[in-house]
Structure 1
Amino acid sequence: MAAMKTLAEVAEVIRSKNAGPFIVTFDILFETEEAFEAVRSAGMLNRQAVCKLYGVSDNELLGFDFYPFARAVKFSLRRPVGSGGPRDADVYGAQQHAPLLDLAVLP
C-alpha cells in the first residue's frame, strides 16, 4: 500500500505572510494543472482540515478558495495576537505555513 503524499511533496510553493496586523494569509501554488486538480479532486485539503490543523474554529478561517487559473489555494486566519504585539512569536507571519507541509493531501 502506497503512503499518502503530503502537501510539501506536491506543491511548488507553500507560504504565509501578514495581511495586516491581525490576519495571516496563506498561498499554496502548484507547478502543474495536474497536481492542482489531483489535490482539489482528492478533497483532503479543505476548510475542515485547515481548522483542525491550526486548532481554530471555522469563524477564524477567512475564506478558503481554489483558483484554477492560478493553480493556487488561498485562505487566511485571524491572528491570536496582533503582529509585533506582546506574545507574538512571528512578527511577519512568515513561519505560519509550516504545519501545512506535512498535511496529507493525496491518497
Structure 2
Amino acid sequence: MGERALEVRSKNAGPFWVTMELFMRDAEGYATVADEGFINEEVIARLYDLDPADVQIFRIPALNVVKISYPRPVAQGSLRDRDVHAGQHHVPLAALVPE
C-alpha cells in the first residue's frame, strides 16, 4: 500500500479513537483501494483485531483519500497505552499489498 499512496498515516481522533488516512497518488490508485472494495470494514477488522461493526470508513474521491476510524485498543495515555499519539497504528495498513 505504501508504494501506491503518497502518504499513509495514523493519529488520535480523541482519547478513544484512532484515525488512519490513505492519500492515494491518483484516481487509479484510489479506485484500487476504495472503489474496488480492497479496503473495507472486514479487512481493517482483520488487520487490527476489531469487530467490523466498530470500523468506520470514509471515502473522499475528490481528494483520492480514504479515511478509517476505529476505537483505540486502550484509552490514550492509560497505563497500557504504548503509542500515545497513535502515530504507529498505520504500519499494518501501509504494509498491505493490493492484489
Is there any run of 5+ residues in structure 2 with no aligned partner, and where?
Answer: none
Question: Counterpart of 2:50?
Answer: 56
CA distance in 1 between counterparts of 2:41 and 2:87 reads 21
Q: Which segment drifts farther, 14-23 or 30-39?
A: 30-39
Does residue 93 (structure 1) correspond to residue 86 (structure 2)? The answer is: yes
Contact 2:41 2:53 survives alignment (8 Å)? no
The percentage of counterpart residues that share the same residue type is 35
| Root-mean-square deviation over aligned CA pairs | 1.3
TM-score of the aligned structures, taking structure 1 as reference length: 0.84
The counterpart of 2:11, out of the listed 9, 12, 17, is: 17
The counterpart of 1:44, out of the listed 38, 41, 63, is: 38
Larger radius of gyration: 1
CA distance in 1 between counterparts of 2:20 and 2:88 reads 10
Question: Counterpart of 1:3?
Answer: none
Query: How many pairs were matched up?
Result: 99
Contact 1:44 1:104 survives alignment (8 Å)? no
TM-score of the aligned structures, taking structure 2 as reference length: 0.91
CA distance in 2 between counterparts of 1:79 and 1:59 reads 14
Contact 2:34 2:66 survives alignment (8 Å)? no
Does residue 103 (structure 1) correspond to residue 96 (structure 2)? The answer is: yes
Which amino acid is the alignment partner of residue 65 of structure 1? F
CA distance in 1 between counterparts of 2:52 and 2:26 reads 29
Following TM superposition, the consecutive aligned residue runs of length 4 or more in structure 1 with deviations greater than 3 angstroms are none
The counterpart of 1:73, out of the listed 52, 66, 71, is: 66
Q: Whose relative contact order is higher, 1 or 2, with alpha carbons under 8 Å and at least 6 apart? A: 1
